[in-house]
Structure 1
Amino acid sequence: MKANNIVTFEHVSFSYEEDKTVLDDVSLQVAEGEWLAIVGHNGSGKSTMAKLINGLLVARTGEITVSGLPMTEENIWEIRRRVGMVFQNPDNQFVGATVQDDVAFGLENNGIPQTEMVTRVAQALADVAMNGFETFEPNRLSGGQKQRVAIAGVIALRPGLIILDEATSMLDPEGRVSVLATIKALKEQHQLTVISITHDLEEAAMADRVIVMNKGRYLMEGKPETIFKETTKLQEIGLDVPFVNQVQADLMTAGFKFNTVYFSEGELVNALCQLRSNK
């Protein structure tokens, strides 16, 4: 394994049933410090990959390495200390009666001293802009606030790798943008590695690299601007291409030439204006 790879899959396969393969001979590497998005339709195997990385599932064949440690029964608890997971529904992660109790729960389980625990809880809540909510009941928070608290609980443990398993899929557009902006800021602040498991290509656009899965197999990978050029392939496997990329693809079919892929309507409009002014 290369020194800068925090996760490696070598020919990994997984089945829930003998006759139903969920992952089929998947190999990949995740570089330390990168944001990797793994995208695919429901049933493509992407969430299974997240659970394999955290040792919640055991591969049928192949080898998995996380932070230099082979995925074995002896290493599994150490690996889990190094990997934080944020799930789709934050309600499933809450165990404390208050926000601060919930963020402290994982720290208590890891035997962190009380004085350090207080400091970490306060810092984690400040990092996700939830300071001032310490005594609130989690079930009284909005969806975006709940997900921020779930992220704080993970950040407090100071893992090197965070996995977002469809972590924004239940949020409204404003909450999704806010949570992803928080993750991006935390990644830079704490030099984190982020793996985003999603079917939302707008979320994938924030990543450094995108891997596309289809029916349990690796389909393609590249930078977001490379992947988003493949609008037909993405639609063929059931992914909704962001509106701005579909419009750009249609314009290119009509004869317009662009130097790059645009991720916002404003960028595309400016490019069109520039093309018109150059005529």
Structure 2
Amino acid sequence: MTFPSDRTSTRAAASGPEAHPRPRPLTADLLERLQGVRDALPVESVMVRRHADDPGIEVLAGRRLFTEAERRALPFDSPEYSYSVVCAAVAVEPAPRLPLVGVGLGRIAADAVAALKARSAALLGDDEQVDRFAADVLGLRSGGRWREAVSTALLGDWPAPLFSGDPIGPCALAGLRKEAATRHAQLTPLWRRRVRNARLLSLDAPLADGLSLAGLVTGGRSAEDSVIAREPDDPRLAALLRSLGPAERAVVEAWGDGAVGTWTEAAIRAGEADPCATGERVRRKVRRWTAEQERRGALRR
């Protein structure tokens, strides 16, 4: 961004009163919004000094300062004009009688001020103002993970142009919106995302009767399960039980109960001290026995 080199050339930009009408006075609402500029910028990055004409005004030092006369001389459509409001004049106490002149902030400049105030609100933990900024300026949802994502994005380096004396343009605001969306995606749990328009579910997702989805997945009936589910007089089940010790037999008999979903639950019902290890050991032993029986049956055929 190019600033006027001196006051003479600046005033020459508007040679007559007809070229650019006198700006209207700032309203209390606009002054209050401009107050957020001073609050949002780091103290070590901005030099603040008292305005020479009125002790109620502070001037932020950027690449150069604008006096009231210079602001009047700037054309309405110049970027310097918007910058003079966003980065030069900040009211200490918003009041309509303060001798400031408004320049008709464009949408980008107004959004930049709102973003700076939202940045300050994020630092202070003002969730309500962050939510309003996300909805009104960024067009995003508010609350929950969106609030955390927008707050994190606001605390990034998007206002860096101000520190070098440049205005915050549409690219910075677009980058802020993109960063908020990226942060939200990172904060969204995997089981809340969609793949080909289908929802993913966590294995810990609760189901009825205190069971979880993991219990259904790991508790699916396999070849050895069909053996255990037979009546006790089934010769294959009898042969399996004979190959097991008393404790292992109790686990297998508990597994045959339709209400048991996993081998760990069967070991718990059998009263084992370490149900996870015992259940897994019995499961592998039953699987090896079943595989051996299937191999022998295939040879006989």
Using structure 2 for the length normalisation, give the TM-score. 0.22
Q: Considering fraction of residues, name the structure with more helix.
A: 2
Q: Considering fraction of residues, name the structure with more strand.
A: 1
Choose 1 or 2 for highest CA Rg: 2
Bigger relative CO (Cα 8 Å, ≥ 6 apart): 1
Using structure 1 for the length normalisation, give the TM-score. 0.23
